Each structure stands twice: as C-alpha cells, then as structure tokens.
Chains A and B, each alone.
Chain A
Amino acid sequence: MSTNTESWGSRVGLVLAMAGNAVGFGNFLRFPVQAVQNGGGAFIIPYLISFLLLGLPLIMIEWSTGRFGGQFGHHSTPFIMDAMGKRRLWKYVGVFGIFSNIAIASYYCYIESWTMSYIYHSLMGTFNGMDQHEVAGFFTNYLDITTSTTGIPYEALVFFLLCLALNTWILSRGLSGGVESVAKIGVPMLIVFGLFLAYRGITLKAGTNGAVFDGTVGLNFLWTPDYSSLSNPKVWLAAAGQIFFTLSVGMGSIQCYASYINKRDDIALNAMSAGWMNEFVEVVLGSAIIIPISIGYLGVDKVVELSGIGGLGLGFRTMPFLFQQWGPILSAIAGMSFFGLLFFAGITSSLAMGTPGMGFLMDEFNWSRKNAALGFGVIILILGLPTILFFNQGVFDEYDYWGGTVSLVVFALLESILFSWVFGLKKGWREINMGADIKIPLVYRFIIKFITPIMLIVVFFGSLVRPVNDDWTGQKIGNWEFHNESIIGQLKHQGIGPNKLWFADAFYSENTGIVDSTFLLRKKYYISVSNKLADGSVSSQNYRYMPSKHTLSIKPGDEVGKGDILFTGKMINKVFYIDMARLLLMSLFVFIAVLVYIAWRKNHQPQKTP
C-alpha cells in the first residue's frame, strides 16, 4: 500500500505551482540570449509558432497523462506510462521523467545557490565601486570554490548546501504545505520584481545614470521583425528548443503535479493558465530586463558579443556592474530584485524536480515523505558535488547537455507518440477534455496527432546532425560536418581539441597564436596564447599549469600552432572529467531503471499474471 496521500491545497495554488515549475532561469537569462543570438525580432515569430504547435500540445499531453496515471495511484512517469501502454518497454521510457529531474536539479540547485549569494552581495554592497572587469572576475572567483569572496571558506559550497537544505526541507513539508506555499509567495514576488526591473529597463534614458542608449534601443533590436528568418532552420531549432526549456516539458514534473488531480477536475483551463502565465513572464518581463538594460549601457554589438558567453554569464558577470550605475541604494534594490526573481524562479522549478523521484519512492517503496525528501537531498548532493568541484572541467555543461537538453527532447518525442498513437488520440482527447472548464479548439486534435510529433522528430534529428556553422544548405550527405554542439559532435568529442587522452604526459595548445605571457593569478599559474583575428580583435586562451609538476616547453613570444606542446609532465585532461560525468549520468539512468524493474516485480507482476 502506497504511503502517498498528498494533495493540492487549492486550485490557484496548483496553477501557481505549475507556473512556478515552468518559470525558471531560462525565462530571464536564456530567452533574451537566444533572441539576441538569433537575430532579435527574427526569433519571436518562430518562437510563438513553436509555442502554439509544440508547447501547448505537450502541456496538454503531460497534464492529461499525469491525471490519468494518478487514478491508478502512480505519481511518476515510469508507471504512469506503464498504465498507458501495454508493452513493458514504456515504463523504462518513463525513467527519463525521473532521470531528467535529478540530473537537472543537480546543477540547477547550484545556480540557485549563486542567486542566494548574489542577493547577499547586492545587499551588502560588495559590487560597489567595482569596474566591469572586476565584477566579471568576482564571478570567476566565486566559481573557484577555493577562493572566498566573503571570508567564508568554500563559500560556493556553503551556499549550495544551504540551498539544497532549503529545498529538502520544503519538499519534506509536502505538496500543499511546502511546494504550493512557496509558489503562492514566489510567483507573485518574481512578477513584482520583474515589473520593477522591466520598468527600469524600458524607461532607461541615454545620458542618465551613465546610460549610452535609451532602453528602447534594445527593445527595437529585439522586436524588429525579420521575416526572412522564417526559412532559416537554425532559428526554428533554437525557438523550438527554447519552448522546451521554458515550459519544463519533457521532464516528467508536470505529469507528477497533475497526477494529484481528481479525474473529474479540470486540467484544460489549469494547463492554459499556467502555460500562458509562463509566456507572460518570458515574453513580457523576460524581454524587458536584460536586453534593454545591457544594450542601454553597452550597445547592440557588445551585447551580441557578450551573448556568446550565455545567459548565465550575462546575468552574473555583467548585470551587477550595470546596476551599480544607478547609485548605491537603487543598485542594492535592483540587485536584490534581479537575483531575487531568479531565486524564486529557480526554487519553484527545483522543487518541481524533486517531486517525481519522491512520488516514485513513496508509491513504489512506501517511503515516508520526509525520508523521500531526504533521499532526494542526498542524491542531489552526491550528483551535484562534481558540478561544483569540477565546474571548470566541463562537468556542469555535460549535465546540462545530456540531462537538461537531449533527454527532454527524446522523452517528449516518445511520450507524444505514446499518447497519440499507442494510448490513442480518441482516449487522449477524452482525457484532455474530461471535466474541462474551457473548450480546447478541435484543431488541436490534428496538431497533437501529427504536427507535434513531426516537429519533435525534426527537432531531434536537427540536434543529432546539426551541421557546422549551422549551414544546412552547404553540406553534402557523404561529407557532412557536424557542429560541436550536435549530439554526434558531442559523442565524438569534436570540441575537445588536441588533448583527447584522459591521462597524458604533455599538454597541447588548443589554439594558434603567440605566447604573450605566463602569469600568476589567485595562486594559480597560467600560459596565455593570443591570436589577432581578421577584424583586428584579439582572441586569447589561458591554460593552467602547475610549476611543481609541469615543465614549460615554450617561452613568452613563441609562436604556437594548435596541437603544439605547451608543457610536459603528468596531467589529467578535461576529457576525463567529461567522460566521467557521462558515465555518472548513464549510471543514474540505469540505477533508476533497475529500481523501476524491482518496483514492477514487487508491486505489479503478481496482479498482471493470471
């Protein structure tokens, strides 16, 4: 008998929790960067079309499958999918719905802990008087856990542990007492903070507080439509990818939340409300903060260049410096608002990531809620530590790529096929509309059955074979060059460069240029190799070495080519950490699959055998 007697406190609380699940860092950090990298206004139209044809159908599928599974007492995707499909295979597909949540939470809690730390530093005035380089350097220092910015040793680790303890404690209080209560405070608070910052962004005037351009210059860049982009596959793939991140579809957390809904209660209106609330936060608030403020101070070209370091870089390396231009009091308020909204966006999502695994343990192994929450905390601690300790070795990025990107697309594709073609759209449509307070347009029957799975197949294959430079027309089938970020490119370690061995006796330069210096920074030694580009700018890469273990093979002023030896001695290359991260993630998937098998043997096989 399952110990799981959870329920939602109120309908508004459920909608806010679902919206909080969807609203995350991506709304404020990833969306604007994706928009900038894909031509501003060129991105918006494919994005909105993807929301209507991919996002909304997947939301409906996940809400209805969750509620369907809940009728059989299942609150996690393995057995929700088992209840829908007759083949045993489906419950192992459902493993993705626990795996993704754990893998994502392992690095997501770390980002969440940065926001806690940055709220503290904004209020304490740590960034006051720092120039842009120093603010960016502060973030680099913070990620190096051996460096303390507050005097607290291992500060990044301490904030991570605090954040994880907070998540675990809230989860132990249950759905209505914990998750829902936080959503009822967090979602309105992040909207209030977002409105304040959006107002500041839109009304930014050139010449005041050091701004060079009006905030509307950024808005102009973002919203000027470019209809030629509609024929660019890169923009479509980016737009569809953003829809996955922003709606938290393909993860299994929506199904888990929906599984606590009675079969007679509405899901159609709830799903629409949560989905559109997320879009409000992303399209209205998310577009009006980072871009107008950063372009107002730095200009379009600089922001396009900075977007190359990603939304996290822009948010944590640049925004605190820009807020400083508003004076000490307003910058403290702005910093608290910005990192506060990120914190609330983060915690309402990370709590959602905890519930599927907890639901599984409570349903199938009769764990108490407190033990299940503690179990979640322990596993996130074990899996999260490598992302903190080996952040610079690429472990964090591996979790994000495989757990937070590829898994979502694969799971969403398979669940849409299961829903429309195995479970059957006739039954599926009845599930969506059962108890509905609104009428879903009939055209969605067609979209869910054909358009959404086709779009998902396109997105998956687009990610699998993404060509170098995103040049889809200039490639030949027999001589296809993969992008480093494509799934095949990643599997082939294409972006690794010449240091391909786990353990080596020599380190090879990963770029071509001139050794312009060897230097000591924060007690660490580096070699800098710089290259002057055709446009006059300089591209530099720093390589860390240890004088006690390594012997330099170069001296300042030497010209080096990619693959030339920089230093010799025993070393562990980045590829080792990357492969270990992949192995860890694979082990996690297999471990969950084994637990699913044990649970199935324990609880389900006797009933199914005549």
Chain B
Amino acid sequence: MNTSALILMITVQVSVTALAAWFFYRVLVAKPMAEPDSYSENDDVER
C-alpha cells in the first residue's frame, strides 16, 4: 500500500473503532436510572 493510503486507512479505522468501542463501553458501565426506567430486565433488581 502507498503511504497516503496507509495513513488514511489507519487514521479512519482506528478513530472509528475507538469511538465505537468508547461509546459502547460508556453504555455498558452507565449507572442505571431510578425505576421506573425504560428497561424491564432490571425491574426486580434492588439498588
């Protein structure tokens, strides 16, 4: 691959992957809201 293609590919793919991973991680670790919230699976979980 030529240098400019390599730089563009790595920059875009690393940025997109990092942002996708970061936002999904934030969703995973986000503190649940107090009930009643939008989600039924945690309805019986005590906080």
Contact A223 B20 (CB under 8 A): no
Contact A276 B39 (CB under 8 A): no
Complex CA distance for A216 and B6, rounded to whole angstroms: 10
B interface residue numbers (CB < 8 A to A): 1-2, 4-6, 8-9, 12-13, 16-17, 19-20, 23-24, 26-28, 30, 32-33, 36-42
A-B pairs with CB below 8 Å: how many? 102
0/1 per residue, A217-239, Cβ < 8 Å to B? 00110111100000000000000
Contacts of B27 in A (CB 8 A): 11-12, 15, 269-270, 273
0/1 per residue, A263-280, Cβ < 8 Å to B? 011100110110011011
Contacts of A279 in B (CB 8 A): 16, 19-20
Q: Of A216, A223, A276, A435, which is within 8 A of B19 by CB?
A: A276
Which of A2-10, A99-107, A592-600 faces chain B?
A2-10
Complex CA distance for A216 and B13, rounded to whole angstroms: 15
A223 and B5 in contact (CB under 8 A), knowing A11-B39, A48-B12, A279-B16? yes
Contact B30 A223 (CB under 8 A): no
Contact A176 B2 (CB under 8 A): no
Question: Smallest CB–CB gap between A255 and chain B, Å?
Answer: 15
Total interface residues in chain A, CB < 8 Å:
39
Contact A283 B8 (CB under 8 A): no
Contact B1 A220 (CB under 8 A): yes
0/1 per residue, A49-84, Cβ < 8 Å to B? 000000000000000000000000000000000000
Contact A225 B1 (CB under 8 A): no
A interface residue numbers (CB < 8 A to B): 7-15, 41, 44, 48, 176, 216, 219-220, 222-225, 260-262, 264-266, 269-270, 272-273, 276-277, 279-280, 283-284, 435, 437-438
Complex CA distance for A225 and B19, rounded to whole angstroms: 22
Contacts of B23 in A (CB 8 A): 269, 272-273, 276-277, 438
Contacts of B24 in A (CB 8 A): 15, 273, 276-277
Contacts of B19 in A (CB 8 A): 276, 279
Complex CA distance for A35 and B33, rounded to whole angstroms: 42
Question: Smallest CB–CB gap between A195 and chain B, Å?
Answer: 11
Contacts of B17 in A (CB 8 A): 280, 284
